């Protein structure tokens, strides 16, 4: 599965999950998103192959399972009345979030047929101070002007609202790596981990977010879990949740 593009996996997930899940029946790992146990998860990733990470039922990855539990345990996302914009909605979350009665939930994307509203994140077609929550994961690395996108998210978020804007981060880099002269898709894959990535974020990501006005808390939520829980849930122990607020 590691070389199958995620959009294709998502498109055929209804068939994929019915067939593959049968072969992964077991109790060794657990997906909190679809609430199912498996013998193991599937491998995923082309440049950086990761074994035992892809849920064969809902297609959640490490980051999805971590974020799901963060929202449940650390926020009022599942209980408070909230107006939510979910940009580039992830397949494991989409139906789950739509079914939450407490949410006024909308999705956005430039091209995705799953989106309620089509727009470029660098020019969000909503008035300021309208959303309680803005979710936009693994998108900013694709955007031409990521600071402009951050400014737009800040603009449409209500005072007191929060955003989750996770991105791939190379924790060995202090600064974000960007080189606009690298245009060949295969060179981008080598330098930025994926053919359609325009940059590879470093540990300065939080400062970029703060530069547009956000308050950013770097939450090492994954480290709150025991070794046995981490083995069961298959998180990346080093992933930081960037909890972003507009004060």
181-192 confidence digits (pLDDT tens): 999 989 998 999
Most confident of 97-106, 180-189, 190-199: 97-106
Please tell me the predicted confidence (pLDDT) of residue 111.
Answer: 86
Please tell me the predicted confidence (pLDDT) of residue 15.
Answer: 61
Please tell me the predicted confidence (pLDDT) of residue 18.
Answer: 65
Instruction: Return the beta strands (E) in the chain as ranges.
Output: 29-31, 36-38, 42-44, 50-54, 82-87, 103-109, 117-118, 131-136, 157-164, 177-178, 199-200, 215-219, 241-245
pLDDT tens sequence across 30-61: 999 999 999 999 998 766 788 999 998 888 99
- Helix or strand holding residue 154 (H, E): helix 146-156
Q: Is the pLDDT of residue 118 over 60?
A: yes
Please tell me the predicted confidence (pLDDT) of residue 132.
Answer: 98
What is the phi/psi pair of residue 149, to 5°?
Answer: -65, -40
Least confident of 39-43, 82-86, 128-132, 214-218: 39-43
Please tell me the predicted confidence (pLDDT) of residue 10.
Answer: 58
Residues 40 and 51: their CA atoms lie apart, in Å, by 9
Q: Is the pLDDT of residue 104 over 90?
A: yes
Please tell me the predicted confidence (pLDDT) of residue 1.
Answer: 47
Helices and strands per DSSP (H, E), number in the chain: 8, 13
Please tell me the predicted confidence (pLDDT) of residue 234.
Answer: 96
């Amino acid at each position: 599965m590691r070389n199958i593009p995620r959009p294709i996996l998502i498109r055929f997930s209804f068939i994929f999950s019915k067939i593959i899940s049968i072969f992964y029946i077991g109790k060794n790992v657990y997906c909190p998103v679809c609430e199912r146990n498996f013998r193991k998860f599937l491998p995923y990733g082309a440049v950086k192959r990761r074994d035992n990470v892809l849920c064969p039922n809902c297609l959640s990855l490490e980051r999805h399972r971590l974020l799901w539990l963060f929202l449940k345990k650390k926020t009022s996302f599942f209980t408070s009345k909230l107006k939510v914009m979910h940009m580039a909605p992830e397949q494991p979350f989409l139906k789950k979030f739509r079914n939450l009665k407490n949410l006024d939930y909308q999705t956005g994307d430039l091209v995705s047929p799953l989106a309620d509203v089509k727009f470029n994140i660098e020019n969000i077609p909503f008035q300021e101070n309208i959303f309680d929550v803005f979710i936009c994961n693994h998108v900013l690395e694709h955007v031409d002007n990521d600071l402009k996108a951050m400014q737009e998210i800040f603009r449409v978020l209500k005072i007191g609202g929060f955003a989750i804007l996770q991105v791939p981060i190379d924790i060995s880099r202090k600064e974000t790596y960007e080189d606009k002269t690298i245009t060949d898709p295969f060179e981008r894959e080598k330098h930025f981990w994926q053919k359609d990535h325009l940059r590879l974020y470093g540990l300065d990501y939080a400062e970029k977010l703060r530069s547009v006005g956000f308050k950013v808390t770097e939450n090492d939520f994954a480290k709150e879990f025991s070794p046995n829980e981490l083995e069961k849930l298959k998180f990346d122990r080093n992933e930081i949740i960037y909890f972003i607020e507009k004060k």
